[in-house]
Structure 1
Amino acid sequence: MKKIIITALILISIISCNSKKTDNIEVTANTNAVNTNNNVETNTKLTFVNNANTLESNTKEYEGYATNIYYSASSVEEYAQAIEDFNFIKDKASLDEWQSKYADETPITFAIDYYPTEEKAIELISYGADVNQKDFRGLTPLMNASLNGYVKLAIELIKHNADVNAKDNTSADSLFYAVNANNSLELVKVLLNSGANPNIVYSDPEEGSFTILDRSLYYNNFEIFKTLVENGANINKVNDREEPLIVDAIRRERFDIVKYLVEKGIDPTMKYTDYRNIPFSLLVATVNNNDTKIAEYLIEQGADVNTKAIIDNYMENGMTSNYKDNSKEAVNLIFAAIENGNTSLVKLLIEKGADTTVVNKEKKTVFDIAKEKGYDDILALEK
């Protein structure tokens, strides 16, 4: 019941103080109650769709959140009062008064969270609000501005000496949040032009280590990727499996980025050795692609059609499944392609001059395998 009251008080406060902005806000309350032997757990979610900030409150006071009024189930009145008081901040004196009353809160971040535009946060800067004050997650106002795509606010924060390379509790920075939220190219440029480091190595328990280029690849934003490179991001970096960045671009079928990296100096005929000390060429990375566009481009750039590959489940949809297995025998790529059912790649390799007389360990040629699998289109290429 307290959580429902919290939601109502917040909504009433915002509507009463800013009725013209209610069209930009959507509030959703989802309440689930379970009552077993008088044990009750209630959860309420308040979501502001406009800026993708989500406040979640729980009847349990989680460690690290207890001092923050949003996460204290016993602070219903204080919670609503903080928002009401915030709407009356009009100068430095009223800002200081609010900050002294709510010492654990971050005024600029509070404004970002509870106003549908960036203007209130910018107003606070003019009153002398601390532009580098971190919230309970370790996020600075610039990180929150980056997360929300607030270019104008980011510029104002930087003008007032916001630290563009500050780290939060997980060691993420403002550039990470801007790219991770797939926000505007302009915002990324603002951060880079202000000294953001595009070569920070981030770490995640599940993903391992990665750079901002890896994240931009994930979000398929070519212009942001190109801007990062033009501002010094390292295109020669390798991942935890000792694979070059271009390999990830190939597996994600990002032809634009593959072509761009080659134009920037990456050798399309290069061979690399992965963490298992197994050598690969870039062409091998196309074995699971849905089309042959990248493979054809690499071949045109000089890639060896008889390059060696390994027939296993090493790579499925960009994820390693045989991560520790280095016992597989290397074979010509054409065998790996046909075993994977990639008949389009098999046909391309044959058309580009791949050796079809070579046999696998069962003494079978690619045409023998095609006959067994019923690939008549490949058999039609036999001379």
Structure 2
Amino acid sequence: MKFLSFTMSKKWLPVVVLVPLLAVMTLTAFAEDNPQEEGEIAMYFIAAAERGNLAVVKELLAEGADVNGRNLLQQRALPCAAANGNIEVVRLLLEKGAYIEATDQDCLTPLMNACERGHLEIVRLLLDKGADINAQTKAGSTALRKAVNEQYIEVVRLLLKRGADVHDKLNDGTYILMSAALTGNTEILNAILDKGADVNARDDKGSSALKWSAFMDRSDVVRLLKSRGAKSDLWIAALTGDVQEAERLIEAGADVNAVDGLGWTPLMNAARKGHAEMVELLLDQGADPAAKRECKHLKCPTVIDYALRGGSPVIVSTLLNKGTDNHPNSGSKKWKALLPLAIGLGRMEVVKLLLSNGLDVNVRIGSDYMRSMMIECTAGLQVNETIGSNGMSLLMLACITGRNEIAKLLLADGADVNQRDANGCTALMRATLSGQMESVKLLLANGADANSVDKHGNTALNFNCRGPIHDLLRAHGVNALGRCIVGTPPLF
């Protein structure tokens, strides 16, 4: 193979050059039986550029490497060198004719790569050589947005000085100012606003940078944007809990039941953020406590669902007293979902409130509404995916998620420690399978039947066949016979 002969014949090559080359060559060992020199050189060449090995890059260029060639991963040398901060390699590649707008496998230009990694001098070099400062990816992202997202303030300043467009937006209508607001970096925000960014620009859903900041609880950013002329609305006032602003807006004619582009009403925003005084104001002004969020894929959540998410027992109590349908004894299906949601979210005070209002502590989790609310309101809570289809109890939910204080409350309120789901599993079995040692201890201490079997003849021991929980169950005399679901057989 020509290239291998070339590398081995150069006895004078130092170790720092040979070692990277040999490391790269192992990646293409599969090609030895049918060598394709051009492809091999491209792979070595791009790898050398990525690693900043200037000597190897020079040698390969001398051997005929294509400065704009791609490897099997569709990478090119210039974007790789720019991304990894190898300025001398970048300079050499540009001198040798590298296409300055060459994109990598992610469709990023060298300038975007350098901005995303914060390589200020490479950014300066590329701009000096004529790189398109406002080039966009397929999604509409630019070099400026890359620098903003990573909060490289000096890179941002340089790009703004060189004319980066502060009005650019992604395909979904997200303006650069909104991205800056989400970072919480007020220095970057001021820099962008100083260049004329529209502080009141809105995305395709009608949200502004101020609204995004309020939703993310960026109070310092909210203050800054308002000081720079950002206009509030009733949804934003509800998010921030600004009662005086809400009163002013309502007096000026704001609709308390209006729905924004995300399907939210002001009352939902206030409930979600736990602003009790704002909730009272909106309700007094005619806000609908039973309003449902407009959505496409789920059975749409209501205000009370977001109140649970916010975790304020005061707000939940307020909503409990608004209308017959909002009372747990009304027979409404949604009320059967509230207690499981509160447990799944770990809202201890709300659980106490709901139990005190007469919700059945032994209700099963099984409705479509419950499944939808668990998905919508738990925000990534990792619970067993069979919730909603097999009659899991509240106690089971508390135990598998490690909410032991809530489990104690449920037991004290009369929860059946040996209640079974549709598969015949008990809370002890589920806690064992989930590896919740403290929950297992709690259940055993409260009379859980350690030798109870499910529909398939499994005891709790079959769900955890080794480790501390296994030892604890054996100490309680659990039957060690039978097949094992997790780990080694129970006898071992």
Question: In which range does the TM-score fall when normalised by the shorter chain?
Answer: 0.5 to 0.7
- Counterpart check, 1:352 vs 2:449: no
| Stretch moving more, 347-356 or 191-200 | 347-356
Q: CA deviation at 1:247?
A: 0.6
Name which of 280, 301, 310 aligns with 1:210.
301
Q: Deviations over 1:13-34 (max 9, x none)?
A: xxxxxxxxxxxxxxxxxx8778
Contact 2:336 2:359 in 1 (8 A): no
Name which of 424, 435, 447 aligns with 1:341.
435
Match of 1:300 in 2: 412
Q: Which amino acid aligns with 2:341?
A: D
Q: Deviations over 1:143-187 (max 9, x none)?
A: 23223332112112223432111122333221123334x263222
- Counterpart check, 1:268 vs 2:379: no
Change (3 A) 1:149 1:247: same
RMSD: 4.6
Q: CA deviation at 1:195?
A: 1.0
Change (3 A) 1:361 1:289: same
Q: CA deviation at 1:370?
A: 6.7
- Counterpart check, 1:255 vs 2:364: no
Match of 1:43 in 2: 144
Instruction: Give the number of the structure whose residues are more often strand, by fraction.
Output: 1
Contact 1:213 1:225 in 2 (8 A): yes
Instruction: Name structure 1 gaps, 5 residues minimum.
Output: 1-30, 48-55, 67-75, 84-105, 122-134, 311-328
Change (3 A) 1:113 1:235: farther
| Stretch moving more, 34-43 or 155-164 | 34-43
Q: CA deviation at 1:65?
A: 9.0
Change (3 A) 1:65 1:337: closer
- How many residues align? The count is 273
Change (3 A) 1:200 1:364: closer
Match of 1:91 in 2: none
Say which SS state the counterpart of residue 266 (structure 1) adopts: coil
| Stretch moving more, 276-285 or 337-346 | 276-285
Q: Deviations over 1:2-58 (max 9, x none)?
A: xxxxxxxxxxxxxxxxxxxxxxxxxxxxx87787864734536699xxxxxxxx944
Q: Deviations over 1:302-338 (max 9, x none)?
A: 221111137xxxxxxxxxxxxxxxxxx3323322221
Equivalent-residue separation in structure 2 for 1:265 and 1:282 (angstroms): 15
Change (3 A) 1:274 1:60: closer
Q: Which amino acid aligns with 1:115?
A: K
| Stretch moving more, 184-193 or 356-365 | 356-365
Map of 1:18-167 to 2, 5 A cutoff? 38=132, 40=134, 41-43=142-144, 57-60=166-169, 114-116=225-227, 141-167=233-259
Equivalent-residue separation in structure 2 for 1:368 and 1:277 (angstroms): 23
Contact 1:274 1:280 in 2 (8 A): no
Q: Deviations over 1:237-295 (max 9, x none)?
A: 657xx971211111122221111111112111223533465333222211323242222
Match of 2:103 in 1: none
Equivalent-residue separation in structure 1 for 2:172 and 2:431 (angstroms): 52
Q: Which amino acid aligns with 2:300?
A: S
Q: Which amino acid aligns with 2:322?
A: N
Equivalent-residue separation in structure 1 for 2:227 and 2:322 (angstroms): 32
Instruction: Give the number of the structure whose residues are more often helix, by fraction.
Output: 2
Change (3 A) 1:267 1:43: same
Change (3 A) 1:270 1:227: same
Equivalent-residue separation in structure 1 for 2:394 and 2:315 (angstroms): 24
Contact 1:143 1:174 in 2 (8 A): yes
Change (3 A) 1:185 1:199: same
Q: Deviations over 1:54-112 (max 9, x none)?
A: xx94435868799xxxxxxxxx9xx96999xxxxxxxxxxxxxxxxxxxxxx9xx9x99
Equivalent-residue separation in structure 2 for 1:80 and 1:38 (angstroms): 20
Equivalent-residue separation in structure 1 for 2:320 and 2:412 (angstroms): 25
Contact 2:312 2:350 in 1 (8 A): no
Contact 2:166 2:196 in 1 (8 A): no
